[in-house]
Chain A
Amino acid sequence: MSMNRRQFLKIAGMSTVLGLGGVPVINLLKGDKSEASHVFVNEKALTAKRWGMAIDVSKFRTDDDYKKVIHACNSIHNIPDFGNSKDQIKWIWTDTYEHTFPTQPNEFIEESVKEKPFVLLCNHCENPPCVRVCPTKATFKRKDGIVMMDQHRCIGCRFCMAACPFGARSFNYKDPRLGLKPEDENTQYPTRTIGVVEKCTFCAERLSKGLIPACVEASQQIAKDAGTEAAMYFGDLDDPSSDVRKVLAGRYSIRRKPELGTGPSVFYIIGGDKNA
């Protein structure tokens, strides 16, 4: 068979296109379920329609309480520490009332609230702007309401950081392993790579094993040791009998920047403490 240059290029071009698109197309035709659907599901896994959290600010008593709660998260998630705010990775941290609720300033707010540190973390919004802007679906909302990150897909464009009104996201400006001491590393949880965004995941990896988030567990342990009520509650916001709904039903709570319509799933119970 003879062909001229033009015919040859046509055939070569077509076969390249088919070759590149070939495997996914064939897989699609097979109608197989995706690989992820074969993943083993733990029967003890905790499930919900919409995970949420309530933080009773008055129940934090000492600086140590905050430290324990934050350390519980940092230690199991291999959060690096570079000793500067520029490269800092934060999943859970504290700030003042004024900074936590900048749209609700109140110069005559009671002293105890004004001075009190507030625990901050990702709000796992119902309508998350970070998910809306991500160009690769590397951040996405799960069916149980958790806003999750796929650190293997993230291209590090940081659009999500510009979109998040709560400053909940951190970028790995440096290799996170350089900010970790080898003896502190939790080998059960992956360290991240340079150049990706990360944030709190409501301890999705613990939920799948039947455990509540590490910060809430630490807070409940503190309460148990001191014989007081816990400061943090976690549960299904869709279930009226859940811990979180019960505590929210009895007390006045607020959320950060509700006027933006993102629907935060983290609630703050402030003042009006029946034990105060």
Chain B
Amino acid sequence: MLEKALQGSRKYWTWIFFLLLIVGNGFINYLYQFKHGLGITGMSRDVSWGLYIGQFTFLVGVAASAVMLVIPHYLHDFKKFGKIVILGEFLAVAAVTMCVTFIFVDLGQPMRVLNVILHPTPNSILFWDAVVLNGYLGLNIVIGWMTLSADRKGIKPPAWVKPLIYVSIPWAFSIHTVTAFLYAGLPGRHFWLSAIMAARFLASAFAGGPALLIILSLIVRKLTKFDPGKEPIQAVGKIVTYAMIANVFLLGLEFFTAFYSQIPGEMNSFKYLYVGFEGHDKLVPLMWTSSILAIVSLPLLIVPSWRKKEGVLATACVALFISLWIDKGFGLVIGGFVPNPFEGVTEYWPTLREASIALGVWALGFLVLTLLYKIAITVREQTAGIEIEH
């Protein structure tokens, strides 16, 4: 099936080369970082994780969200998802690829990355994160590939794929729970030390990931002959709605605990992010942008007559996706480091090189996504061709 990614229109190849250009730019900047160290980023002694780890965290959520299609389709026999479940699985593959790359570019000594395997350390959450992420990547490649090639031949996938699909469901939850545990178990980081961190991660993942999937489905419909269908998109829209409500609710719980208890450590990071702390407020405009976009997206999603209009749904999804991208891909990580362990403030902002590398990783993810979607869509177009031949 791979050959299907090698035959495409002029538009397809322009897009591929455009992505390759951004990947290349990111790679050249990464080589510079490789030589001169992470000092070329905005990270510091006080804010020792930044854009890279933030994007990693956000994308684990996107990857996990594939399960929101797998559960209805395979556990509830919701057949309407049959056509688009592959889009979810391949999105997961692209997202995990980005996650692993973000971790890699964040390492100070990337050539030693295999030490994680050579010296396995079960008490480290990062070790488990590596295990579950790579496992999830493998599961989705195998499941996606086997079901798609079976579709192409018009036969059922081999029987051993079914158990893998069932395993992939708790596995999806595990990748984001373990990622939340990276943060939620650290003494002295009040902003992260919260029992509902994993629940928040899952809620935001199941809102943001499916929202991206809706946007992608609409793009696919516009650009190709494959139509994911109105009903499945509406069904995913409902999932996004419920998950976003849960996400905002859980964030509200954090605010309540912090500001009703009035414990300074609990409040300070929130203050820094939303109103500024001791005169430092670099992230305030960004966090309010995120909040406003979330507030705008909610009614558009909740009111059924609005949600049913695909244009409105798409707008809500874009707003929601950007909102969560800021909140989880940036604010969550930086907020944990400000104020620092001495209640002092060191602010963080990514450098141009750092942003170029991050953009390169995103482009790499979209390259993987484009190739996989091209394959899946070509197969879908061919299998559906008989019925809709003009």
A residues adjacent to B (C-beta < 8 A): 85-88, 90, 95, 98-100, 102-103, 129, 132-138, 153-159, 161-167, 170-175, 193-197, 257, 260-262
Contact = CB atoms under 8 A, between A and B. Distances in A.
A173 B36 CA distance: 8
Interface string B107-121: 111101101101101
Contacts of B37: 172-175, 194-195
A133 B108 contact: no
Given A135-B127, A173-B37, A260 B187 contact: yes
Interface string B239-279: 00000000000000000000000000100000000000000
A137 B108 contact: no
Given A155-B116, A162-B49, A133 B125 contact: yes
Contacts of B119: 136-137, 153
B187 A171 contact: no
A196 B48 CA distance: 12
B187 A195 contact: no
Contact of A165 (B36, B109, B123, B188): B188
Interface string B341-353: 1111010000000
A218 B331 CA distance: 44
B126 interface: yes
Nearest to A88: B45
B43 interface: yes
B336 to A, nearest CB: 7
B189 A162 contact: yes
Contact of B108 (A90, A98, A162, A172): A172
Interface string B22-65: 00000000000000111101011110110000000000000000
A60 B350 CA distance: 40
17 contacts: A98-B343, A129-B186, A134-B121, A136-B118, A154-B108, A155-B112, A155-B113, A157-B103, A159-B182, A163-B187, A165-B188, A165-B341, A167-B342, A171-B108, A174-B36, A174-B37, A260-B187
Nearest to B43: A173
Interface in B162-195: 182-183, 185-189
B124 interface: yes
A99 B344 contact: yes
A166 B45 CA distance: 12
**Category for how many chain B residues contact A:** 35 or more
Contacts of B188: 129, 164-166, 257, 260
A101 to B, nearest CB: 10
Given A165-B186, A171-B38, A194-B37, 6 more contacts: A133-B125, A162-B189, A165-B187, A165-B341, A171-B48, A196-B109
A211 to B, nearest CB: 29
Interface in B65-113: 103, 106-110, 112-113
Contacts of A102: 341-343
Contacts of A158: 48-49, 106, 108
B130 interface: yes
Contact of A196 (B108, B182, B185, B189): B108
A44 to B, nearest CB: 32
Contacts of A132: 123-124
A134 B48 CA distance: 15
Interface of B: 36-39, 41, 43-46, 48-49, 103, 106-110, 112-113, 115-116, 118-119, 121, 123-127, 130, 182-183, 185-189, 265, 336-337, 340-344, 346
Contact of A137 (B48, B121, B340): B121
For A173, A196, A261, the residue with the greatest tally of chain B CB atoms inside 10 Å of its CB is A173
A163 B113 contact: no
A194 B107 CA distance: 11
A155 B115 contact: yes
A194 B108 CA distance: 7
A99 B116 contact: no
Contacts of A88: 45
Contacts of B108: 154-158, 171-172, 194-197
Given A102-B342, A157-B107, A196-B108, A136 B116 contact: yes
A194 B36 CA distance: 8
Closest 7 CB pairs of A and B: A156-B108, A165-B188, A195-B108, A173-B39, A99-B342, A135-B126, A167-B341
Contacts of B121: 134-137
Contacts of B187: 129, 163, 165, 260-262
B343 A135 contact: no
A133 B341 contact: no
A85 B36 contact: no
For A137, A155, A158, A260, the residue with the greatest tally of chain B CB atoms inside 10 Å of its CB is A155
A96 B357 CA distance: 38
A162 B112 contact: no
A90 B48 CA distance: 14
Contacts of A175: 36-37
Contacts of B130: 135
B125 A99 contact: no
Contacts of B346: 85-86
Contact of B46 (A133, A167, A193, A261): A167
Contacts of B116: 135-136, 155
Nearest to A100: B342
